[in-house]
Amino acid sequence: MKALVFNEFGSSDVLQYAEIADAVAGPGEILLSTTAIGLNFADIYRRKGNYHLVGDAPYVLGYEGAGVVVGLGEGVTDFVLGERVAFVDVPLANAELVAVPVNKAIPIPDGIHDEIAASVLLQGLTASYLAKDSYAIRYGDVALVHAVAGGVGQMLTQIITSLGGTVIGLTSTEEKAEVARKLGAEEVLLYSDNWAEKLAGKIDVAYDSVGSTLMESFQAVRDKGAVVFYGMSGGDPVSVDPRMLMDTSKTLTGGDLWSFLTSKEERIKRSKALFDMIIAGKITVNQPRKFPLSKGKEAHDLLESRKSTGKILLIP
């Protein structure tokens, strides 16, 4: 099978489109012929060596995608050949064939295209737990969404507004700000603005995926408000003095998707709720930017440039 591989850590120049041994479905697994593969910043970090990889080179990136069942491992009875399936945390996904454990396989319903499933699952499920679990949005809440034009930011904006909340977004350019406004953000400020001072004490909850902005998020949040920290795209956050939390009754909550996708049933339930919102028109999914899997270097370069505003897919 063909796959996007690399033998050493580094820039996108290390990526190669090569022939490797076919993936095989083991016991309790299904074999998918991939139709769409999601590209994420974690793939960049793994390629550079920031995230640990097990095994030996050649390494295969990717852990999110969709495809069609072409093989059944021993003991598999709840999937059939030809069924459409998506996944969000299965390694070695940058390939024409991927072995997916059945407890991580998510059936794709009619009305959801494979490319949409591969575009929304990781980011949509993240946005969903942020708005419903980390801090449960209530009608009238004002939420500050960092990186509002990014994949999670776009989903989070729409979920918050569907729950009766108001979104104030942060982004880097006016072009990206317009993307967020079209998806329901009431106001969008640029990071170059003095946003923390402008918003001081006006925000009920700040969703911070930047990290280095953590204390500014606290400045924007009202007393008894909350900051949800779930990413470090802008660098490590400073340490938080618990006395500040005590004095202002503010809350700091961490967020990680894998704390919520703890069982097959939970994956399917949360994915179905996300798919239902898309089918019902409550979430608009912008068309993803697509690259052939053979052009993976170009896809990595675009994502790393931070000039993209939607999902990037690799198509085998």
Q: Which two tokens stand for residue 208?
A: 């911070």
pTM of the model: 0.92
Q: How many helices (H) and strands (E) does the chain have?
A: 9, 16
Q: What is the DSSP letter of 127?
A: H
Residues 87/119, Cβ–Cβ less than 8 Å = no
Residues 124/92, Cβ–Cβ less than 8 Å = no
Count the neighbouring beta carbons within 10 Å of the beta carbon of residue 276.
Answer: 14
Q: Which residues contact 114 (CB under 8 A, 6 or more apart)?
A: 35, 36, 66, 67, 84, 86, 108
Bridge pairing between strands 203-208 and 65-72: unpaired
Q: What is the DSSP letter of 133?
A: I
Residues 235/212, Cβ–Cβ less than 8 Å = yes
Q: Which two tokens stand for residue 90?
A: 């299965």
Is the domain spanning 2-108+286-315 CATH 3.40.50.1370? The answer is: no
224: left (phi over 0), alpha (psi -120 to 50) or beta: left
- Closest by alpha carbon to 215, among 189, 196, 194? 196
Q: What is the pLDDT along the chain (316 residues), one digit of tens a residue?
A: 999 999 999 999 999 999 999 999 999 999 999 999 999 988 998 999 888 777 888 999 999 999 999 999 999 999 999 999 999 999 999 999 999 999 999 999 999 999 999 999 999 999 999 999 999 999 999 999 999 998 899 999 999 999 999 999 999 999 999 999 999 999 999 999 999 999 999 999 999 999 999 999 999 999 999 999 999 888 889 999 999 999 999 999 999 999 999 999 999 999 999 999 999 999 999 889 999 999 999 999 999 887 777 799 999 9
Burial label for 181, CB within 10 Å (0-12, 13-18, 19+), is: middle
Q: What is the DSSP letter of 132?
A: I
User: Rounded to whole angstroms, how far apart are CA atoms 122 and 198?
Assistant: 32
Residues 101/88, Cβ–Cβ less than 8 Å = no
Domain locations in the chain as residue ranges: 2-108+286-315, 123-258
Bridge pairing between strands 59-60 and 166-171: unpaired
User: Rounded to whole angstroms, how far apart are CA atoms 195 and 219?
Assistant: 10
Q: Which top CATH class is 123-258?
A: alpha beta
User: Rounded to whole angstroms, how far apart are CA atoms 256 and 121?
Assistant: 14
Q: What residues does 312 pair with on adjacent strands?
A: 39, 289
User: Any idea which residue has 């295969």 for tokens?
Assistant: 60
